[in-house]
Chain A
Amino acid sequence: MTAAYRPIVFTLNGRRVSLRVHPLKRLLDVLREDCGLTGTKEGCGEGECGACTVLVDGRAVNACLVPAAQAAGAKVVTIEGLKGRHPLQRAFAEHGGAQCGICTPGMILAAAALGPRPTMDEVRTGLAGNVCRCTGYEGVYRAIQKQEAGSRKTEGRRQKPEATGRKPGARRRAPNSRIPNPEPRIPMLRRRRT
């Protein structure tokens, strides 16, 4: 019975949340079920594939390995926190960074956490915990590099985002609530001039 659990309080995508969940419930499940944010994916449950990557206090972690109790007091950012407006998101969509898309949210957050001006070595090392089975990673690198260059060299008109139905029971935001901008610690990537 959830009322028996102590509330766990943390900041989620800029907003304070308080949840009564079992303290050992995985943060991944808390996000997907209790918070209605299904953008964070489960690929392995072992902390190997990185599909569940979220940012906790600016650092990439596997949400499948974090007990809810240990998120207390932390700033958690999920893919939803980028609101589709982070330059990496557009770059992934337009430059082959995403094929089947299941690793994409985790990959984008891990990429966002790389810090400014990562070299290719830093990109490879920083994304070594995000397994992609579709792209061979080349498309991911292209997307990161194109985003750094601030490229808008897309052809064709700007595409409308796909309409998606809201999941029943999903948390609705109050009309007046304002979600602050993504974590200021997520830096814009800039390509180092070589």
Chain B
Amino acid sequence: MTGSGPVATAKSIARSGPSVFRVEPSRGWFGFNFRELWEYRDLLFFLTWRDIKVRYRQTALGAAWAVLQPLLTMVVFSVVFGQLAKLPSEGFPYPIFTYTALLPWQLFAFALTESSTSLVGSQNLISKVYFPRLIVPIAATLPGLVDFAIAFVVLVGMMLFYRVPLTIRVLVLPLFLLLALASALAVGLWLSALNVEYRDVRYVVPFLTQFWMYATPIAYSATIIPEKWRVLYGLNPITGVVEGFRWAMLGTTGELGGQVWVSSAMVLLMLVSGLIYFRRMEDTFADVI
């Protein structure tokens, strides 16, 4: 940028009591103001609440969608992959095996899709009001939890039906949920910021989620992946989430520890890089959007 940089003056302001805020050209890539983000937590709450409310108010079937989507997908998978292709399901009935994986997957996919388009969708807010922009993609990842909760009730029903006992492992489930949301947010940060400048993103997202789904052990078991590809396969953080879900709900065996650590490390890497990129682009959102 041209011109004079900020000059230190403002004597009379410096000694006055209340907080002084300086508006100046952006510098640096880091320096997220997490304290400010915390101060706007009510906005995060209300934006999430708005999305949930509007979603259920505008759809005729409302909450039924939350159940229908994974249920119908489960039926299709059960017929195609379970009955026709006869994919192994680690000794569990195929429907419940795939449904358990579909729940965290749909939470992830929905959160990812919503957060990717969130900034552009909040165009008029961003160009008219200041608030930490990070609130927008974060708020977009949360409403999916309601759908998840409803679909989860169905899962419990299915477990009763198939007589799969619930174990103490279920207590670890929130951790996997968190991992799923963090993954969605990490990718969402990248895509939402990219979407502001390149509207191609909205065409990319449907493909991305489709490919990603097949790269995740949802319709099949991770055990069918050849040993030598496992490490590469494990880089997909949702693999860890899905395997974790099956481990916690169904009691699948197999060593999980390594997979979860790889997934967590991957998510952390994506999240930090996403934050940096978002921070870098943030200042120009209002000008470009």
| A and B: interacting chains | no
A residues within 8 Å of B by Cβ?
none
B residues within 8 Å of A by Cβ?
none
